[in-house]
Chains A and B, each alone.
Chain A
């Protein structure tokens, strides 16, 4: 197999990697000391994540749900990708907390059939209303990022777009609570901001966020069709607050971290299946994710998944060995080119 990003894998191999987490040396933001530990690990202060605190959070969460339950057409809007975390979030809202959720899936033209089938099964079995927003509006932007050899991380504009649409849908249906399937590793900073390297204030994301910001600033300015699209996640939040007041939460912040528990439940109850193709292992992501990972490895030597898993290692929720296994590049250039064909681009 022609392992995609072999040159970037070699680059990572030649880079020193933190002995505690999985972040490579990437100055000036990520630096290793004489003991081989990165500055993020050195500066990290572990706080105890007690079961009592999780229980208190769940109690407050239920209180909040009860405050709004039955007041409108829907109690909450659940962002669903068809992956294990968001599908289980939908399951919990309907079965555990007895809410009437509206499930919302965003397909930018690159969602996998496996993920969409998981969603169809879930909404049918749970008998919840389902909103599937399918579009190829941003195809030209993704294509331009590739053709100009931009270092921009594609997941970033996509997150901006998805979050903006989600807030708009919540406003349209007057829904006070948005439920996401974000896990603890994805939430080291402000929950909405933490997704996919959008956060320019977090050392691990600075280079990725800067490159994406630069690309977006140039591309959006020169394309009138994007005049209404927010240019950053900060902008998304500012616009959302003006439009409609709602709160974004994830049940995974207080539910058990071990996904094996809820994966078994959704497999049994919702006919949920692991996707045939995925990166990192045991996740569900769109086809563009493979290109995004390839480019991130090539330009930065690591991806936002390395950042997420490093956080989980520091918190003692994942072993370094397991993280390294999950992050191993498992796809080839043929796959990248099959995906890139839609964007009129070829990887050589």
Chain B
């Protein structure tokens, strides 16, 4: 598997929808094209909403993995 270089991390644990989505979107908008953002999100509504919402904005979801009670999402800026 090719090595992925994470540019920044955004911890959105405890942040509800739509604030979590909006913060992820704004963070990605401030990064350069192709940069990778690591996002920590909660289980439940956040993990159901944030990844598809970022995808719809044209960003690439590289991976989504469960780590205990949280999810680690890697998204590449469009």
Q: Give A contacts to B, CB under 8 Å.
A: 43-50, 53-54, 56-57, 60-61, 63-64, 67, 184, 187-193, 201, 234, 237, 241, 245, 247, 249-250, 253-254, 315
Contacts and interface: CB of A to CB of B under 8 A. Distances in A.
Given A60-B30, A67-B30, 5 more contacts: A53-B15, A64-B26, A188-B18, A190-B49, A237-B56
A234 B58 CA distance: 12
Interface in B34-76: 42-46, 48-49, 52-53, 56-58
Nearest to A43: B44
A90 B62 CA distance: 36
B51 to A, nearest CB: 10
Contacts of A44: 44-45
Interface of B: 14-19, 21-23, 25-27, 29-30, 42-46, 48-49, 52-53, 56-58
Contacts of B15: 47, 49-50, 53
B13 to A, nearest CB: 9
Nearest to B50: A190
B30 A234 contact: no
Given A64-B29, A191-B21, A49 B16 contact: yes
B20 to A, nearest CB: 8
Given A47-B14, A188-B17, A60 B23 contact: yes
B56 A247 contact: no
A190 B56 contact: yes
24 contacts: A47-B42, A50-B14, A53-B23, A56-B23, A60-B23, A63-B30, A64-B26, A64-B30, A67-B30, A187-B17, A188-B17, A188-B45, A189-B17, A190-B56, A191-B53, A193-B53, A201-B48, A234-B56, A237-B57, A247-B26, A247-B57, A249-B25, A253-B22, A254-B19
Contacts of A46: 16
A92 B3 CA distance: 44
B53 A61 contact: no
Q: 9 closest pairs, A vs B, by CB?
A: A187-B18, A47-B16, A190-B53, A60-B26, A45-B44, A241-B58, A53-B15, A49-B16, A237-B56
A45 B45 contact: yes
B22 A53 contact: no
Given A45-B44, A63-B30, A247 B19 contact: no
A35 B27 CA distance: 42
B53 to A, nearest CB: 4
B56 A47 contact: no
Contacts of A245: 58
Given A50-B14, A64-B26, A193 B56 contact: yes
A227 to B, nearest CB: 24
Contact of A60 (B17, B27, B43): B27
Contact of B19 (A54, A190, A201, A241): A54
B16 to A, nearest CB: 4
A190 B58 CA distance: 13
Contact of A53 (B19, B29, B43): B19
B44 A57 contact: no
Contacts of B19: 49, 53-54, 57, 253-254
B26 A61 contact: yes
A42 to B, nearest CB: 12
Contacts of B23: 53, 56-57, 60
Residue of A47, A187, A189, A234 most packed against chain B (CB within 10 A) = A47
A244 to B, nearest CB: 12
Contact of A47 (B21, B46, B57): B46
Nearest to A53: B15
Contacts of A241: 57-58
Nearest to A194: B18
Nearest to A68: B29
A48 B19 CA distance: 11
A48 to B, nearest CB: 5
